[in-house]
Structure formats: structure tokens, C-alpha cells
Amino acid sequence: MSEQNSTSTRPTALVVSAHSADFVWRAGGAIALHARKGYDVTIVCLSYGERGESAKLWKKDGCTMEHVKSERRKEAEAAASALGAADIQFFDIGDYPLGITEDAKFRLVDVMRKVQPKFILSHSLEDPYNTDHPAATRMTIECRMIAQAWGHNPGEKILGAPQVYLFEPHQTEQCGWKPDVLLDISEVWDRKYAAIQCMQGQEHLWEYYTRVGKQRGVQAKRNSGGQAGGKNVEYGEGYQSIFPRMISEL
Amino acid sequence: MSEQNSTSTRPTALVVSAHSADFVWRAGGAIALHARKGYDVTIVCLSYGERGESAKLWKKDGCTMEHVKSERRKEAEAAASALGAADIQFFDIGDYPLGITEDAKFRLVDVMRKVQPKFILSHSLEDPYNTDHPAATRMTIECRMIAQAWGHNPGEKILGAPQVYLFEPHQTEQCGWKPDVLLDISEVWDRKYAAIQCMQGQEHLWEYYTRVGKQRGVQAKRNSGGQAGGKNVEYGEGYQSIFPRMISEL
Amino acid sequence: MSEQNSTSTRPTALVVSAHSADFVWRAGGAIALHARKGYDVTIVCLSYGERGESAKLWKKDGCTMEHVKSERRKEAEAAASALGAADIQFFDIGDYPLGITEDAKFRLVDVMRKVQPKFILSHSLEDPYNTDHPAATRMTIECRMIAQAWGHNPGEKILGAPQVYLFEPHQTEQCGWKPDVLLDISEVWDRKYAAIQCMQGQEHLWEYYTRVGKQRGVQAKRNSGGQAGGKNVEYGEGYQSIFPRMISEL
Amino acid sequence: MSEQNSTSTRPTALVVSAHSADFVWRAGGAIALHARKGYDVTIVCLSYGERGESAKLWKKDGCTMEHVKSERRKEAEAAASALGAADIQFFDIGDYPLGITEDAKFRLVDVMRKVQPKFILSHSLEDPYNTDHPAATRMTIECRMIAQAWGHNPGEKILGAPQVYLFEPHQTEQCGWKPDVLLDISEVWDRKYAAIQCMQGQEHLWEYYTRVGKQRGVQAKRNSGGQAGGKNVEYGEGYQSIFPRMISEL
Amino acid sequence: MSEQNSTSTRPTALVVSAHSADFVWRAGGAIALHARKGYDVTIVCLSYGERGESAKLWKKDGCTMEHVKSERRKEAEAAASALGAADIQFFDIGDYPLGITEDAKFRLVDVMRKVQPKFILSHSLEDPYNTDHPAATRMTIECRMIAQAWGHNPGEKILGAPQVYLFEPHQTEQCGWKPDVLLDISEVWDRKYAAIQCMQGQEHLWEYYTRVGKQRGVQAKRNSGGQAGGKNVEYGEGYQSIFPRMISEL
Amino acid sequence: MSEQNSTSTRPTALVVSAHSADFVWRAGGAIALHARKGYDVTIVCLSYGERGESAKLWKKDGCTMEHVKSERRKEAEAAASALGAADIQFFDIGDYPLGITEDAKFRLVDVMRKVQPKFILSHSLEDPYNTDHPAATRMTIECRMIAQAWGHNPGEKILGAPQVYLFEPHQTEQCGWKPDVLLDISEVWDRKYAAIQCMQGQEHLWEYYTRVGKQRGVQAKRNSGGQAGGKNVEYGEGYQSIFPRMISEL
């Protein structure tokens, strides 16, 4: 994995993932695509999903928490590498529920200021199945605010106003998630699928998220013109923006 | 006003205005900006606002409907010219309420197909003060669908999937309107204000919409980075998108 | 029933009821209370509810439409009288569905301009059980707009900006109705219950709406201070406002 | 196709489809499943989708409206037969937009009263891509109300209070559609796919809706217990209920 | 009170009540009904409501916190007994505000895993009058997630995917609560009213919640067919579901 | 600043401001207006906004936290004085994020009970730009509940049921804020502007909030009758109510 260089002039992006596999299913295409475009993408995994998202490992005799964390870390690092991410950091704050403390917040603020991301990716605002997901998003939005404060660690370079994009939850309609962006990830699908295959503990989700990619691709084509000139998009990812965007042309 | 040329390769846009002055207050900046960028912008005024938005004229003795329509038309043509619009069409279907018929719909479909707009502008989805506004939007969205139908006037070139942007209503919070786009119109503000001044009958709104422009400008600056690198936007216009957009980079 | 006098200086109110009994269950308290306070209250029944809300009558042999309308009219007139309303008008536009035409709209506009109501009462914005109810409300809001138009029947006195209060539907939560006003109708409950008893065809609703009155009374007490100084309200009615109100003191 | 018998004691269901193919993609599983369970399922196609959803046919030279309608009718009849529906009726009211008239409404009321469905299926409440869909739903809800009215065609058996289930639109999140029911259609998937294959003009949708079926199956499993005892559901369909349901056990 | 037996094959349910009386007013009918059907129903009272819902006791001279808790506990135990609940547990975490800690969460997780409820009852998602209520619901939904985690106390039997039903708040419309289920509790009304009478400190609510029961009964009848075959429901309780339900027949 | 006298018979109001300048921009008019009407208005500043809203101070060399707090306090005291507030209290709990603890809550409860406000002002329910704002509002609503509890500090006079009004956030549409009240502050605008000028560190907001005042004034006029008898309101402030209000006349 390449060294992140804060003096680089390369564009940057930040992904905040509640558990160590979330970034793969939900944002793997965006990570690979922007890496290919020359972005340094930093991934923060708040937890390993060691308690709540490692059923396969726990079902084996003699499994320990350290073993689970270690396995999950290896999978996540392999996936990040497959996607071409510049950096992946593990906060290890515990999952189910996430152990969000002031220290954890300030650590995320530090990352935001160091990375100075052009945009940030995180979870949906609601999720009745998994309250860690919206907790991570609330933390992200709060830390974005702190990172903008001149009086937090005075002298550091403050954060600008990066867009926060919410990636797709497992059951979108139950989570009040509505995408306003459909990203064409066709050219990097192979990398996303390679990353998906790193998730040995959750094989039952591989085809589920392959189908998600295809559906978003069909929708992307339709929304860009359909049969009357729409772009042929084989795989897509949907995102919901939090903030309005400043533009110079509609 | 320049002749619209359907064989042109210039980009195009369409504005659907319930009454003949709406396009000025709400979308004048977008029209002038895109005209300057080389777009052929077509404006459709469904009515003159002759009954509901011409109080000043009606207060004079001996006023007639024909006179009101004629005056409103002159003002709207002058404003469209000031903005650099390529074409302005008056459907004259009556206002308060709008007289929306199948004929009017098919006429709007014809315009959509001829113009083949890259994007369409219209009103908010709700407005308890003015039910003509959401009626125009519903009509626009319905006609967009009809214009996409291969079986409507078979043989014509069908419409693609242009974005529909909703412009700002008078009391935004009462209309459930939430902008996701803030357009920088600073460079064409003089043209928008010139168009505003064409509306001799509604002078009480001139300063109101000047202040709207300034507020949206401040917000555009803030959302593009604020004091940490935000673009200095003096005047802005807000828009709400109806459809997700297909993109290749976040 | 007293003659309505347009030159009166008494305050006025207008109730728009989809069917001839709606105003009793839902707004009878407000009508009686404001009548007692000196308001001239005008009730418009768009239909008699002859098809959809007259089951008891239709179950009898040989029943005819004329008979149903006549019976319903008698009941509604008796109820309006019991409440002290200044006027009740029957538009007879048909129910299930309401036969809303341009003529019906302009007739309602005429009433609005003649009455010049300080406020207007009508139904909820949604009702999946009874689509006539929201249709009446949409018509009311549209007609309020037309009545404000200088160019509609020029020369007439236009309408100001009366609040529109939505009265309580049968199953509030299914209708998206949220009251922001709880009106104390205790002092006129006897009149409301007398009006309710005029509805011989819908006796199954008498106790239902008595209980509604008591519940809203308890809530009114609670919201005015509860056990710490709340007003003792025995019977209440809830209303949802459409527009913000201009005030000089919070 | 079997003859529908109004004196039958078999349970019944009604599907209201805006265009002649909608019922296949969106409700084919429910139709086949309930047919297998002994329901007489009646399908009403308000239009053939002849203008808006027959692109493939129109692209051929010399195509006529009659030809399109005839082809679409044949496909729909074949699909209904594959699903085991008891009856399919074509109202032929025109599409893009639907030609909804009082006559069409009363015709649908007649069907509702004759069928006396235990439940009704129709479209989502919103759809910015296709305004015919919510128009069909509004019509269905309105007709349900009329069919309950004792004064509509007095003497006929009135309708009870059947649930209205909204089937899945093409882009769920853009249509405000949220399923509260996930129906296991695994055992009849072969029949649904056979019906899908009858839609020769829309082959691009076959795999799209196969994937939809699989995703809803995964979700059904998860919501019935997931890895801890959830039912293994291979294919599912989602529905949103309009009305609360009366039950005797949670 | 009968001993709860974790090896029992009887169905089970769990009620999470913020204060010790909430379960009576809001879910007493469901508890009694399912107890009669053979369910072992476990009630968890997070607090006694000792500070916020014991005004009558505090108004007496010399009242102490211990006395209030003791009295409230006695009332709640008597009510649980009257309803036929299998078990009632008092977490005593403090009220106004609830003292929700990680320990309290894990204790609730333990109960969930031991009880393995077929369904869970708790409060509405919002309540501006009483923030303890939605806090209890958020805790319940979070604990449901934790109880599903293989890595939480590995070796224990994990929780499946029980439905969470939200019971009725005091002012439904202000709490954004919308019932999708109306439960017929007529046959156990006597038991619910007996439990209500155990709440000596809140006598002002007895008739209020009797009327709630009657209103929900009328609505249940109406939604199951009304005058055309609806079930005669004298008393009902409303519930809002959080999750979609997997079914095999509509 | 006048001494607050708890035995006073003067009406009272309470403002809860997340940072020390919020009350000026958002509620300065309401404070000055009610002070002039004889209210004792108490302002609570939860923090000085020392970290997040003092950029201008931090940009100077050698700036310290104590200096920032001291400067911000001076400005806020000067502004409160200019507005005629009876009291201003600084909780100094830290900002970005607010350091909300049980102690801080109970301190706010103490103020509520001492002041016994007729109404309370605080922030919007959502704000993705500034999560301190909704945090302050949630705290306020929670403390209102605690202050009503007989068992909290038994013997103290409990709080009644004061309305909570939410003042205007910086970008209203992004915060889900919808005003139902437009307050005429024209007569005290000079005092509000004097208070605004005390905010030396945020001069870029002076004209922004002057324009906000003018826009709300125009809207207030329009909603009180517009050109047909509306009150001429030069400056206004908008508020959103949380609770329904008990009234005796619509």
C-alpha cells in the first residue's frame, strides 16, 4: 500500500466505515475508481466488526476475539489493496455497539485534517437493523464540524467543506436512503469484485452485492438517457449527498 | 431574439413558467448564465399571470383582460431578451387556475421534443399559496414522460432523460423545497437585475429577490469551502433536482 | 337561521365540508364557539354525502336519491341551526367522488369573497379512506388563491390571507394530520352534541366523536400546563394550520 | 383461462395494472402464488402501454396503434395464463397519460364489486419517471371508496375493506416506496419467469426483475430470522400496505 | 406469577417499558391476550418512573425516593399479575432521564437472549413530551442488534429477528406514530382494566385509556370490513411495526 | 443589567443558545420585543463558541482559549444588554462538540424552574452543518421534561408546559426547519442591529441577518393579508413551534 503523503498535490478522499468490511460492499467501486483517477483514498475502519459481523469465524471452536480481529484486519487490508486505496486505518473502538468516545472523535478529526479530503463517504442516516451504521455517520458529520473549527488544535490547517456521500445500506427502503448520485463503476468492477472476494467470512453476500451493482448500473443508464442516448453502464453505485453543491453550470 | 435552430449543435435548456414573470425572479440567473455559455434557452410561459399576478394593472380604471395580457407579454419578452434567451413562447392557457388540457400537454411535449433540452427548469412540488406552481411542475413531469414515449407521434425524435430542476418558491419552507444545487450567477447578475426591472407591475419584489440572490451567494460560498477556500459567490440561485444524476466522478 | 349581512362588522368564518355531516363531527365545536363569540359562520356543504354516507337510508326499500338528499339536507340544516351558524349552503355537486368543476370552484370563490372570512375550516390533506375529503381541501386552497386574484371578476373586493385550519379526520394517523391547535369547546359542548344528535343516520358515530372531544380536552389541558396550572378543558377540537401566522407576541 | 364465477366460494384478489405488462414484473409472483392457493385472481389492465411501453414494436416500419395493442394484449393474456390468473380485462383507456374518466372509474368499481377481492394490488404512490403509475393507484383507492358506497348503484353488494398492497416500482427509493411485506414466491418462480418471458418487447427487463426477486428473497430470509432460523427464501416480492390490518395475534 | 422456563416450548414475548406503568396503558391488552394464548410474556421496566411519573406520591409530606419506588413496584407487579405476564423485571436505571449505560444495555441483551421473544413491544420513535420513551426504543433496537451478534458472549444462543412493535404514545400525532396493526383485545379487556386500576397514582388516566381502547376498537372494525362484514371489535390496541414481515400469503 | 427577581409578577422567557452569539442573530428581535413588553428574558449560553465560532480571534498570533472566552463573553454581555435581557448566564460546557453532561442538564433544569418561562427559544431540530445546534435543542426538550418531574428535587416548584419555539438556522431548508410563526420585530430592529454590531468577530454575518429580517418581514406582511390589508412589517423573525397550543378562539 502506497505511503500517504500530506504534501502531495493529488486529490484525496476519505471513507469512514463502521465495520471493517462495510467499505467493500458499499463503496468499493468509488474507492477503486478514484484511486485509478489519481486520488489518494484513505479508509478508516472504526471497528473490525469483530462481534457483530464475524459469525463464520465465531462458529469455529476455540475462536478468540484477538483471532477474529486479526482475520478481519487481514481481509480488510487485502481488500483495500485490491481497490488501490492509499491508506487504511483501524480505530479498533469496538462494535455492537460502536465505542464512540471523545478520543475517537478527535482521532477522526486528525485524519480529516491530515487528509483534507475532497469528499467523504459514510453510511446512511438511519438503519433499524444496524445502529452502528448511523452512529458512524453522525460521528462523521460531527467530526467534519470539529475539523472546521479554528479553535480546535489552533495552528493546524482546518478542513474545508467536503461533500459527505452516504453509501448504500443493505435494505435501502427501510433506512430512508435515497440516492441522488449514480456512479459508473464499470471500468473498475473487476477490482471491486476482487476486493469482495477477500471477504471470506461473508461469502453469502458476494452475489447479493454483485446484483446491487448491476441494478444501479441499469438505473444509471436509464437516468442518463435510457434507450435515447443513455450511457451504457454495466455496474453502478448509488450515493446520497448531505449538502448542496456549488456549481457553475447545471 | 435569435431564431432557434433545431439542427444546431448548441446545448439547449427549457424553462416552464406557470405565469409570465416567474422565470425572471426564480431562474433569471440560470437563463442568463447558460445563454452566455452558449445554450439556446427556451422559455414557455403557460399563462401571462393575467388574473392572479397583475394587481397593479387591474387597479387602474378601464383595464381589460386583453390589455393585461399584452402588457405582461411585453414585459416578459423584454426580460427574456435581457437574459439572452433564445425563444419565449406563450401558451395562454389561463391562470388562477391554470387551464391544463390534453392539448396544452401535447403542445408542451412538442416543445420538449423540438428543443431536446439538456435540462428543464420548473416550480416546486408544493405551494399552498399558489397552486398553479405545483400544477405546472406536475404537468412538466408528465409531459417529460409523454415526450419519451415511442408511440406518441411515432417517427418523431423522442426525448432523452433531462434533469428537472425546481427553482425557488417565494416561501421555501412552506413549500417543502430543499435545494441540492447552488448555482453561481454572479457574472450575470446585471442581466438578471435588468430582467427584474422589466417587471414594472411587481416593483415590490425587486429588492426581495435581490436579497434572495445574495443569501444564496453566501450559502454557495459556504458550501464550497467557506473561509477555508470557498469560492467567492456574490449572487446565487438554488435548485432542487428531481432525478439522480449519472456521474463518473464524485 | 339569521340572514348573513355582508355589510356587517361582525367577524366571519367559513367552513367547507365535503359532505353534509362532516362539519358537525369535525368542526361543530368551533362553529358553535365562534357563533357565541359573535361570528357569522357560513357553512358550505359541497355534497349531501348522498351516495357515500347515507347507508342507513339506502338500506330501506324504495329509497331514492331525491329522498336521501332531502333527508340529509334537513339534518344538516338542523345541525347548523343548533350550532348557531349564520348560513349553510348546499352546492350539491355530487359525492363519491365529488364533482368538482370550474363552476363549482368559482361558486366557492364567490362565497369566499362575499363572506371575507377571518379563517377557513376544511379537511385533512390526505385520507386514504375517503378521497373526497382531501379533494375538498385542495379545492378550498385553490379557491382561496383565486379569490385573492385582482383579475378574477375585476371590481369585486378580493380576499385577504385567512388561515386555513384542517379539522380532524376519522383516523388521524393514517391521514398524516397533526394538530398544532387545541381549541377549548367545553362551553359549547351541549350545542355540538345537540347538532350531533341531528345526524339520525349515523348514530354509531355519536359516542365516537364524544370520546374524540374528551381526548382533545385532556390534551388541551396538558398542553396548557397540565397539573401545574393547565386550563381545565373538558372538551376540545384539534386543528392543523396550513400557513404561518403573523404575531406581535410569542 | 378459467371462467370467473361470482357465486364461487373461492377467495379472490384484484390487480390493477396501469399498463399491460406491469402486473408481470411487479406482481407476477403474488398472482401465481395465490392462484395456486385457490384464489381467483382478476387482473385489470387500464391500458396496453401502447404508446409508452412498446418501444421495440414502434421501431419497426409500418407499425400501427392497432398492431401494438394487439401484440401487447396477446403477451399479457399469455402471461396471465402462465400465472394462472382467473381473468384479465383490458380497459383500453389510453396511456401516457392514462385516460381516466368517470366511466373508467365506474367500470373499475363494477369489477371491484363483482370480484369482491380479499385484497387489491396496485402501483406506488409516487413515481417521477412514470406518472401513469401513481395515477392508477389514486384511481384504485378512489374506486375502492366508491365501491363501498351504498348509494352507488343501490341494490348491488357493496365492497368491504380489502387491503391495498402497492407493488414494487422500478427505482424504489425515487418513488417513496417502502415495503412492509416480503412475500415468499419461491415455489412459483418458474411461473413468474414463464410470464416474464411472454414480454418479448421488453427483454432488457427480464434479468433486472430476476435480480429483484433474488434480492427480495435474501431480505425475506433475513427478516424472518436470518442465520438464526430464517426461512430460506429464494425469490420474493415486496409490498407496501396502505391500511392498518385488524389482527387477533401479533 | 409463574416461573419463566427457558426450556419451555411455549411462545414468548418481551415488553420494554421505560417507566413501570407504561406497559399497562399502552400494551396491557397485548400482554393479557398473548398470555391467554399461551405465551410467556416478560416485562422489563427500565425505571419505576419514580421521579417523573409519581406526582401523586410526591405531593404527600415526607415522601422518599425509596417509598416511591416501592409503591410503584407493587403497583406494577400487581398489574403484571392481573395481565397474566410470566415475568416482570425492574432494571431500576433511573428516570427523567433514563440512566442508559453499557451495563444496562448488556442486561437487556441477556434478557432478550434468554427469552428469545417472538416479538418485542416498546415505545414510539419520537415523543417531545417524554424523551425517555424514544430513548427506551432506541435502546431496545440497539440491544436487538447486539443480541444477534455471534461475538457477544460467544457460545450463547443468539437472537433471531423478532418484530418490534411500537405501542401507542399519549398524543399520537405529536409523536409521528402511525399504527399499521390494530389488535382486537376485546376478550381480555377486563384484565387490562383490572391492571389499569392497579395504577392508583394515575387515576386521571383510567378513563382516558378506556376511551383509547374503544376508539381503536371502532377503527379495527372499520378496517376489517366496517358495515360490510367487519369484525365487531369492542376494544383495540394499535401498534406500529419497525420491520417488514416475511409472509407466504397476502 | 437588571436583577432577575423570582418573586416578580413580570412574565418571563428563556433562551437556550448553543454558542454565545447564536441568540443575537436568531432571536435578538424576540428578546428585545418581549423585554420592551415587560418580560424578564433570561439567556443561557451553553458555550462561548470559543473553538468553533471565533475564527477571527484565533487567526491572531498568541491567541489563547481564555482570551477567546473572555472576548466572546464581553460581546455576548454587551449584546444582551443592548437587547434589554434581564439575565445572561454562561454554562461554559465547551463547544464543537458541546460537553453535555448530567450536571449541565440539571443546571439548566434549575434555571427553568427558577425562571418559570412562559416560553422557551432554542435551535432547529436538525443541522448537518452544526451538530451543536440540535444537541442544544434536544437538551432543552429533555430538561423541560425533567423540570416538570415532581420527583426531581422534591419541594421545588415544577415547570408548567411552556411552548418551545425553534429559531432560524443558517440554511433553513437543509435543517428541516419550517416556521409556523412570523414575529413582527420592526419596532425593536434598532436594538437587534445594535446587538448584532456587538459581534465584532463575525462582521460577515451582519448584513446576512439584516436581509433575513427583511425577508421574514415581507413574508409576515403577506401572511397577514398582503396587499389586501396585511400589516406592514419591516423586519420579522420566524419560529417553529414544537407543541400544539391551547386556545379559546381560532
Residue at F6 is within a domain: no
CA-CA-CA-CA dihedral for E99, E102, E108, E113, to nearest 10 = 180
**Residue C77: domain span:** 12-239
Band of pLDDT at residue C200, cut at 50, 70 and 90: confident
CA within 13 Å, CB half, B196? 22
pLDDT digits (tens, 9 = 90+) for C65-94: 999 999 999 999 999 999 999 999 999 999
Q: Residue B59 pLDDT more than 60? A: yes
Residue at C249 is within a domain: no
Inter-chain touch F151–E97, beta carbons under 8 Å: no
> How far apart, in whole angstroms, are the C-alpha atoms of residue B111 and residue B95?
20
Band of pLDDT at residue B167, cut at 50, 70 and 90: very high
Q: Residue E130 pLDDT more than 70? A: yes
> How far apart, in whole angstroms, are the C-alpha atoms of residue A239 and residue A26?
9
When pLDDT is averaged across residues E143-153 and rounded to a whole number, the result is 98
- F-chain CB neighbours of B219 within 8 Å are 170-171
Considering chain A, what percentage of its residues have pLDDT values greater than 70? 97
Which three cell numbers mark F16?
437556550
Do A and C touch, 3+ Cβ pairs within 8 Å? The answer is no
Q: What are phi and psi of B31, to 5 degrees?
A: -65, -50
Inter-chain touch E184–D220, beta carbons under 8 Å: no
Do B and A touch, 3+ Cβ pairs within 8 Å? The answer is yes
Residue at F92 is within a domain: yes
Q: Residue A1 pLDDT more than 60? A: no
pLDDT digits (tens, 9 = 90+) for B26-49: 999 999 999 999 999 999 999 999
Count of C–D CB contacts within 8 Å? 47
**Helices F65-83 and F189-197: angle between axes, nearest 10 degrees:** 170
- C-chain CB neighbours of B98 within 8 Å are none
Question: Which neighbouring-strand residues pair with E163?
Answer: E119
Separation in Å, CA of C63 to nearest CA in chain F: 41
- C-chain CB neighbours of B123 within 8 Å are none
Which three cell numbers mark B98?
391554470
Which three cell numbers mark B69?
395580457
- B-chain CB neighbours of A231 within 8 Å are 246
Mutation site, A129, A132, A171, interface E, largest E CB count within 10 A:
A129
Separation in Å, CA of D9 to nearest CA in chain A: 37
pLDDT for C3: 43
Q: Residue E1 pLDDT more than 60? A: no
CB D191 within 8 A of CB D31: no
Inter-chain touch A174–E149, beta carbons under 8 Å: no
Inter-chain touch E243–D221, beta carbons under 8 Å: no
Q: Residue A220 pLDDT more than 60? A: yes
Name D222's Cβ contacts closer than 8 Å, sequence gap at least 6: A129, A170, A171, D230, E161
Interface of A with F (CB under 8 A): 105, 138, 141-142, 145-146, 148-152, 154, 164, 242-244
Task: Please measure the distance between the N-terminal and C-terminal CA atoms of chain E and give it in whole angstroms.
Answer: 38
- Residue in chain C closest to D109 (alpha carbons) equals C96
CA-CA-CA-CA dihedral for D248, E3, E4, E7, to nearest 10 = -120
When pLDDT is averaged across residues E110-133 and rounded to a whole number, the result is 98
pLDDT digits (tens, 9 = 90+) for B223-232: 998 777 788 9
Q: What average pLDDT values come out for chain F (250 residues) when binned by 10 residues?
A: 56 98 97 98 98 94 96 98 98 98 98 98 98 98 98 97 98 98 98 96 90 97 84 96 96
Closest Cβ–Cβ partner in A177, A214, A222 for D173: A177
Q: Residue C227 pLDDT more than 80? A: no
In angstroms, the Cα distances linking B125 to B135, B164, C135, E243 are: 8, 11, 17, 30
Band of pLDDT at residue B3, cut at 50, 70 and 90: very low
Inter-chain touch A146–F52, beta carbons under 8 Å: yes
- Residue in chain B closest to A159 (alpha carbons) equals B228
Separation in Å, CA of B27 to nearest CA in chain A: 12
- B-chain CB neighbours of F215 within 8 Å are 208, 211-212, 215
Q: What are phi and psi of C16, to 5 degrees?
A: -110, 115
- E-chain CB neighbours of F150 within 8 Å are 51-52, 54-55, 58-59
pLDDT for F202: 82
* Cα F67 from chain centre: 24
Touching subunits of C (3+ CB pairs, under 8 Å) are: B, D, E, F
- C-chain CB neighbours of B129 within 8 Å are 145, 243
pLDDT for A200: 87
Inter-chain touch C131–D141, beta carbons under 8 Å: yes
Separation in Å, CA of D188 to nearest CA in chain B: 33
Interface of B with C (CB under 8 A): 50-52, 54-55, 58-59, 63, 65, 68, 95-97, 128-132, 174
When pLDDT is averaged across residues A104-119 and rounded to a whole number, the result is 98
Interface of A with B (CB under 8 A): 13, 30, 33-34, 37, 119, 148, 158-161, 163, 165, 179-184, 219-226, 228-231, 233, 236, 238-239, 241, 243-250
Mutation site, E145, E164, E245, interface A, largest A CB count within 10 A:
E145
pLDDT digits (tens, 9 = 90+) for D191-218: 999 999 999 878 889 999 999 999 999 9
Closest Cβ–Cβ partner in F138, F145, F152 for E130: F145
Closest Cβ–Cβ partner in C141, C150, C244 for B55: C150
What is the CATH classification number for the domain harbouring B82? 3.40.50.10320
Total count of domains within chain D: 1
Q: What are phi and psi of D51, to 5 degrees?
A: -90, -45
Residue at F1 is within a domain: no
**Helices D189-197 and D206-223: angle between axes, nearest 10 degrees:** 160
Question: Which neighbouring-strand residues pair with E120?
Answer: E14, E164
- D-chain CB neighbours of A207 within 8 Å are 214
- A-chain CB neighbours of B41 within 8 Å are none
- Residue in chain E closest to D221 (alpha carbons) equals E246
Mutation site, A174, A209, A211, interface D, largest D CB count within 10 A:
A211
When pLDDT is averaged across residues A170-195 and rounded to a whole number, the result is 98
Q: What mean pLDDT, rounded, does chain D reach?
A: 95
- In three-state form (DSSP H/G/I as H, E/B as E, the rest C), the secondary structure along chain C is CCCCCCCCCCCEEEEEECCCCHHHHHHHHHHHHHHHCCCEEEEEECCCCCCCCCHHHHCCCCCCHHHHHHHHHHHHHHHHHHHCCCEEEECCCCCCCCCCCHHHHHHHHHHHHHHCCCEEEECCCCCCCCCHHHHHHHHHHHHHHHHCCCCCCCCCCCCCCCEEEEECCCCHHHHCCCCCEEEECHHHHHHHHHHHHCCHHHHHHHHHHHHHHHHHHHHHHHHCCCCCCCCCCCCEEEEEECCCEEECCC
Band of pLDDT at residue A8, cut at 50, 70 and 90: low
Separation in Å, CA of B80 to nearest CA in chain F: 26
Inter-chain touch F131–A149, beta carbons under 8 Å: no
Separation in Å, CA of A143 to nearest CA in chain F: 9
Inter-chain touch B150–D174, beta carbons under 8 Å: no
- Residue in chain B closest to A32 (alpha carbons) equals B249
Interface of B with D (CB under 8 A): 105, 138, 141-142, 145-146, 148-152, 154, 164, 242-244
Question: Smallest Cα–Cα separation from D42: which of D75, D63, D11, D9?
Answer: D11
CB E108 within 8 A of CB E140: yes
Q: Residue C30 pLDDT more than 70? A: yes
Q: Residue C4 pLDDT more than 50? A: no
Task: Please measure the distance between the N-terminal and C-terminal CA atoms of chain C and give it in whole angstroms.
Answer: 38
Tell me which DSSP letter residue B180 carries: S
Residue at D250 is within a domain: no
pLDDT digits (tens, 9 = 90+) for A19-67: 999 999 999 999 999 999 999 999 999 999 999 999 999 999 999 999 9
Count of B–F CB contacts within 8 Å? 42
Q: Per-residue DSSP letters for chain A? A: -PPP-TT--S-EEEEEESSTTHHHHHHHHHHHHHHHTT-EEEEEES---TTTS-HHHHTSTT--HHHHHHHHHHHHHHHHHHHT-SEEEE----TTTT---HHHHHHHHHHHHHH--SEEEE--S--TT-THHHHHHHHHHHHHHHHT-TTSSTTSPPP---EEEE---SSGGGGT---SEEEE-GGGHHHHHHHHHT-GGGGGGHHHHHHHHHHHHHHHHHHTTTTTT----SSEEEEEESS-EEES--
> How far apart, in whole angstroms, are the C-alpha atoms of residue B240 and residue B127?
14
pLDDT for A4: 45
pLDDT for D102: 97
Closest Cβ–Cβ partner in C59, C65, C130 for D145: C130
Do D and E touch, 3+ Cβ pairs within 8 Å? The answer is yes
Touching subunits of F (3+ CB pairs, under 8 Å) are: A, B, C, E
When pLDDT is averaged across residues D71-99 and rounded to a whole number, the result is 98
Q: Per-residue DSSP letters for F181-218? A: EEEE-GGGHHHHHHHHHT-GGGGGGHHHHHHHHHHHHH
Do B and D touch, 3+ Cβ pairs within 8 Å? The answer is yes
**Counting Cβ atoms within 10 Å, is residue D205 exposed (0-12), middle (13-18) or buried (19+)?**
middle
Residue in the block written with cell 389482527: D247
Inter-chain touch E149–A97, beta carbons under 8 Å: no
pLDDT digits (tens, 9 = 90+) for D10-32: 999 999 999 999 999 999 999 99
Residue at F246 is within a domain: no
Inter-chain touch A211–D208, beta carbons under 8 Å: no
Q: Residue E4 pLDDT more than 70? A: no
